[in-house]
C-alpha cells in the first residue's frame, strides 16, 4: 500500500513540476530533474521530450533514472490551466480550452495536440523508446488531468489526475483526437482520480 501512496505523491509532484517554464525553454533535451528541483521528489528523471504548441498545450516525457526493477519507467506530464495573466495562457487555457470546448463536451485542440505528442514520441526513431502500459503512465493537474485521462483512454496507460475535468462527454471525440480506437471502458479502469485543495499534494 505504501508503494501506491508513494507513486501517487510522485505523480502529484510531477504534475506540479510541469508548470515550470525552465523545462520548455531549455534547449538541452536531457535536462535532469531530481530532489533539488522539488524537495518531495523521490526519483531522478531525465526530460526526454517536450511539446509547447500554439494551442497552449505543454507537456513533457520524463524517464525515471532510478528504476526499481532495472528497466526505465516513463511519465508523460501535462500542464493544466495556467493562472498567470501576463503570458496569454489564461485565454488559451481557461476561456478556449476549459469553457468553450470542455464546457460543451468537445475535446479542445490542446487535447488533440497532446495525443499527437504522445503518438510522435512513441514513433520517434531518434528517441527509440519502447513505451507500453507496463512502463509508462500519464499525470496532470486541472486541464492537464483531463488530458491525462483522455490519453489513458486512447493509449491504455495508467493515468494519475489531480483535480482534472471529467472527460466522459468527450469520449466520442477520442477517435478524432488520435486515430486510435482503444477498447477501454470509461469506469476509471487505469485512471486514478484525486481531488486536492491548495498544493497539488
Split at pLDDT 50, 70, 90, the class of 112 is: confident
| 129-150: average pLDDT | 92
Lowest mean pLDDT among 10-24, 27-41, 136-150, 186-200: 186-200
- Whether 178 shows a pLDDT value over 70: the answer reads no
Q: DSSP of the chain, one letter per residue?
A: -HHHHHHHHHHHHHHHHTT-THHHH---TT-EE-TTT-TT--S-EEEEEEEE-TTS-EEEEEEESS-SSSS--EEEEE------SSSSHHIIIIIIIIIIIGGGT---HHHHHHHHHHHHHHT-TTT-----TTTEEEEEETHHHHHHHHHHHHH--EEEEESPPP-GGGGGGHHHHHS------SSSTTEEEE--SSS--
Please tell me the distance from the alpha carbon of residue 147 to that of residue 79, in angstroms, as a whole number.
9
| 163 or 194: which leads in pLDDT | 163
The pTM (predicted TM-score) of the whole model is 0.77
Amino acid at each position: 500500500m505504501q508503494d501506491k501512496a508513494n507513486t501517487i505523491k510522485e505523480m502529484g509532484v510531477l504534475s506540479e513540476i510541469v508548470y515550470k517554464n525552465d523545462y520548455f525553454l531549455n534547449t538541452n533535451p536531457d535536462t535532469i530533474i531530481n530532489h533539488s528541483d522539488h524537495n518531495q521528489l523521490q526519483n531522478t528523471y531525465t526530460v526526454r521530450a517536450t511539446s509547447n504548441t500554439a494551442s497552449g498545450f505543454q507537456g513533457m516525457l520524463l524517464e525515471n533514472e532510478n528504476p526499481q526493477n532495472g528497466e526505465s519507467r516513463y511519465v508523460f506530464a501535462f500542464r493544466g490551466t495556467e493562472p498567470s495573466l501576463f503570458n496569454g495562457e489564461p485565454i488559451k487555457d481557461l476561456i478556449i480550452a476549459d469553457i468553450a470546448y470542455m464546457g460543451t463536451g468537445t475535446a479542445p485542440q490542446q487535447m488533440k495536440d497532446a495525443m499527437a505528442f504522445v503518438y510522435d514520441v512513441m514513433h520517434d526513431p531518434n528517441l527509440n523508446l519502447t513505451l507500453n502500459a507496463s512502463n509508462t503512465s500519464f499525470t496532470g493537474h486541472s486541464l492537464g488531468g483531463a488530458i491525462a485521462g483522455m490519453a489513458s483512454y486512447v493509449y491504455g496507460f495508467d493515468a494519475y489526475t489531480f483535480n482534472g475535468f471529467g472527460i466522459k462527454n468527450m469520449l466520442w471525440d477520442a477517435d478524432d483526437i488520435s486515430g486510435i480506437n482503444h477498447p477501454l471502458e470509461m469506469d476509471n479502469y487505469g485512471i486514478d482520480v484525486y481531488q486536492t485543495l491548495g498544493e497539488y499534494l
